[in-house]
Copies of this chain bind each other. A is one copy, B any other.
């Protein structure tokens, strides 16, 4: 398998990204190659600084590029204006016209919108899929919840959300090992008459597909209560949920730590191991990347503030995704679907 990483994307790029790649060599099989895409000189320097065996070095390949896309750039514009950016070059290497250098996996912690746009342009979609969606794993007190979409598609149609439900359930089953995952639709009340028209129409389509273990609406407060293994929502709200969860958890930990320190510095020392334990369970760095479900390749989108271990974990996740043949299962599910969700629905 050939795994490509955009080493120029992310707040901590390129150093942390390159380090994460080199740390991940131990995860590779003998026939895997890790393709580092970005500033050739920087990558070569970083490799030279590490003590790598010849075997290790043989698993690495460098593709030098001269441009990179910033976190704040307009996705479509950036993709158009920067043909030699690490992201655009990586996308093309996974696309249909890639030739014998074709990669099977692409990973980036860069501008999410640009990742999605590059993937849409170069990879196209799996047969039967209307729009790809980003599926993150939300760590909750009752175990991981797959939340899809968190920003690939901020103005989806009901048919898109229906497809996210189907794809996310496959991802939950195959990669997380959840047997018959319970699927919910994020809404503003448990009753069917609540929500907006997008949610109500999606509800009807999902209900009509008996292959989905659908448990109905899930409210914001129930996301962390273990009522579902998969929660589907439109990308705008999903992105707000994701970032709000991060910001709120982080802020709460900070304020608790602050108050404990005020109360008694000795107490703070005792509290530290507890905080670390709880924090680790809610740390997105542990989960690595989020797949762009429905893209016609394996595309892992990582958090903008990814650290080296986030990238290593994303590579681990991508290998697991490939080994479980998630994309094949998605194609098969849509080919055999009893529900035909029209793009125009």
Contacts and interface: CB of A to CB of B under 8 A. Distances in A.
B248 A274 contact: no
Contacts of A259: 274, 277-278
A241 B221 CA distance: 9
B193 A74 contact: yes
A263 B113 CA distance: 43
Given A74-B193, A224-B247, A225-B247, A154 B188 contact: yes
Interface in A197-249: 197, 199, 219-225, 233, 235-237, 239-249
Interface stretch (A13-21, A80-88, A250-258, A286-294): A250-258
A236 B196 contact: yes
Copies of this protein chain in the complex: 2
A220 B242 contact: yes
A144 to B, nearest CB: 14
A248 B247 contact: no
Contact of A244 (B113, B155, B245, B255): B245
Contacts of A193: 74-75, 77
Contacts of A220: 239-247
A40 to B, nearest CB: 29
B263 A243 contact: no
A331 interface: no
B247 A244 contact: no
Interface in A264-308: 264, 267, 270-271, 273-275, 277-278, 281
Contacts of A245: 220, 244, 248
Given A245-B244, A267-B270, A255 B190 contact: no
Interface of A: 72, 74-75, 77, 113, 140-141, 151, 154-155, 186-191, 193-197, 199, 219-225, 233, 235-237, 239-256, 259-260, 263-264, 267, 270-271, 273-275, 277-278, 281
Given A74-B191, A244-B244, A248-B248, 14 more contacts: A72-B189, A72-B190, A74-B193, A77-B193, A140-B251, A155-B196, A195-B236, A220-B241, A237-B240, A259-B274, A259-B277, A267-B267, A267-B270, A270-B270
20 contacts: A75-B193, A140-B251, A141-B254, A141-B255, A188-B235, A188-B240, A220-B239, A220-B247, A221-B246, A221-B247, A237-B237, A240-B240, A241-B241, A248-B248, A252-B253, A255-B281, A256-B274, A259-B278, A264-B270, A267-B271
